[in-house]
Amino acid sequence: MNRKELLGEVERVVIKVGTSTITRGSSNVSKETMDSIARQVKELKDQGKEVLIVTSGAIGIGLKTMGVSPNPNDISIRQAASSVGQSILMQKWNESFQEQRITVAQILLTMDIYSNRDNVLNLNNTIDSLLEHNVVPIFNENDAISIKQIGHVFGDNDTLSAMIASRVDADLLIILSDVDGLYDKNPNIHKDAKFISVVEEVTSEIKEMAGDPVSGMGTGGMKTKISAAEICKDAGCRMIIVSNAIDNAISKAVEGEDVGTIFIADTHMSKKRRWLKSAKSYGSIFVDEGAERAIRNHQSLLPVGILGISAHFSKGDVVDIVCGDVVIAKGTSNYDSVEVEKIKGLHSSRIEEVLGKKTRDDVIKSENIVII
């Protein structure tokens, strides 16, 4: 099947715009680039397509505005720069989209927010309402308050864009990049590097082709883009990495022209399991081989198969399920860590005797488990 056939029924598109795209390799915003993106989004919307944008660039813009040299290890400065740059970034986006008579909305996320089930369901409601009213949502990671090291959470928004694409059941994720797409080795070093136009499956060989970040301002590299492709695959969402140097790259990608590298998705996991797979884990439950077999046979996790726990987690939190030294699955626990510790190894009939109550016979229900 050619690209035009693969992309013939695309209705909802997520576009990830990286720092290198917004700044064109400098420390200033490229109005020409932002205007071009807004114009292409208008064309897609005129075709009846829904568009969401994930943007980077706040930190780089903020550092420039503050007159501070970038220092990857100075987290407080980069967080401050993010808070300065984010308002400027959204102002620039708003100006470009206003020229196309399109209203935009800002949504800032952290992994902690995304990993809370109630929050992510409310996020869905907000997105649905914005799209229903013809608004283009623009997402970014809330670096100003992120408690983790910037760049190690969503990966320069490659991962965030894939999570958003998965969350909204998008048909296509376009990652605008400063590279043409995927090569079998680094083309900046190896002159004989071969370009890969289509990836049908993310194999270990494909992962080995991914190199380190190439941009000075951004933190994402090909590795984070390959990870994004895996998230998209679970959602049945196609993904294209395309160079921002190509004129009308977004329009050409959606129209099925042979630009960039396309990752084909042929599987579809339920939205709940997709969320579980990408959400942050708050602790671990260690299980025996019998429990592992039951989980792989799509059965629930019972206390009898639990060996122990690590970290504190609450009822409803996402936890890793570990057998030996391997994370075999993730799920949401029906009991908190203190309760699981008390009932580990016991038959379900003894839960009420030990805890004085019994929420359920299983610690994690099968439908709330995703196998890794």
Question: Could you read off the pLDDT of 104-162 as tens digits, one per residue?
Answer: 999 998 877 888 888 888 999 999 999 999 999 999 988 666 655 444 445 568 989 99
Q: Are residues 60 and 183 in the same domain?
A: yes
Give the burial string for 265-276 (b: 16+ CB within 10 Å, else e): beeebebebbbb
- Three-point CA angle 91, 96, 102, nearest 5°: 100
Average pLDDT, the chain: 87
Q: Are residues 312 and 222 in the same domain?
A: no
pLDDT at 215: 42
Q: Are residues 285 and 300 in the same domain?
A: yes
Structural domain including 346 reads 281-371
Q: Rounded to whole angstroms, how far apart are CA atoms 322 and 286?
A: 5
Q: Are residues 241 and 189 in the same domain?
A: yes
pLDDT at 291: 96
Mean pLDDT to the nearest integer, 301-306: 96
Q: Are residues 246 and 353 in the same domain?
A: no
Q: Are residues 285 and 249 in the same domain?
A: no
C-beta of residue 178 within 8 angstroms of C-beta of residue 222: no
Q: Are residues 71 and 52 in the same domain?
A: yes
Asked whether residue 204 carries a pLDDT value surpassing 90, the answer given is: no
- Three-point CA angle 236, 363, 147, nearest 5°: 65
Q: Rounded to whole angstroms, how far apart are CA atoms 363 and 341?
A: 11
- Tokens 């630009």 correspond to what residue? 259
Q: Are residues 304 and 213 in the same domain?
A: no
pLDDT at 144: 65
Q: Rounded to whole angstroms, how far apart are CA atoms 301 and 341?
A: 14
CATH number of the domain enclosing 154: 3.40.1160.10
Q: How many domains does the chain have?
A: 2
Q: Are residues 130 and 245 in the same domain?
A: yes
Asked whether residue 262 carries a pLDDT value surpassing 70, the answer given is: yes
Question: Please, where are the H alpha helices in 279-360?
Answer: 289-296, 337-343, 351-355
pTM for the whole structure: 0.78
Choose from 73-77, 213-217, 291-295 the range with maximum mean pLDDT: 291-295
Q: Rounded to whole angstroms, how far apart are CA atoms 34 and 362?
A: 51
- Tokens 């030990």 correspond to what residue? 354
pLDDT at 149: 45
Asked whether residue 219 carries a pLDDT value surpassing 80, the answer given is: no
CATH number of the domain enclosing 327: 2.30.130.10
Asked whether residue 56 carries a pLDDT value surpassing 90, the answer given is: no
Number of DSSP helices (H) and strands (E) in the chain, helices first:
15, 15
Q: Which pLDDT band holds residue 2 (cuts at 50, 70, 90)?
A: confident
pLDDT at 214: 43
Q: Are residues 82 and 126 in the same domain?
A: yes
**Higher pLDDT residue, 335 or 142?**
335
Q: Are residues 132 and 63 in the same domain?
A: yes
Q: Are residues 65 and 171 in the same domain?
A: yes
Listed as own residue / partner, the contacts of 344-350 with beta carbons closer than 8 Å and 24 or more positions apart are 344/303, 344/306, 344/307, 344/308, 344/309, 345/303, 345/304, 345/306, 345/307, 346/303, 346/304, 347/303, 347/304, 348/302, 348/303, 348/304
Torsion angle of the four alpha carbons 241, 245, 248, 249, in this order, in degrees rounded to the nearest 10: -10
User: Within 10 A of 369 (CB to CB), how many other CB atoms are there?
Assistant: 22
Q: Which pLDDT band holds residue 217 (cuts at 50, 70, 90)?
A: very low
Q: Rounded to whole angstroms, how far apart are CA atoms 364 and 241?
A: 37
366 secondary structure, DSSP code: G
**Nearest-CA neighbor of 176 among 334, 27, 40, 355?**
40
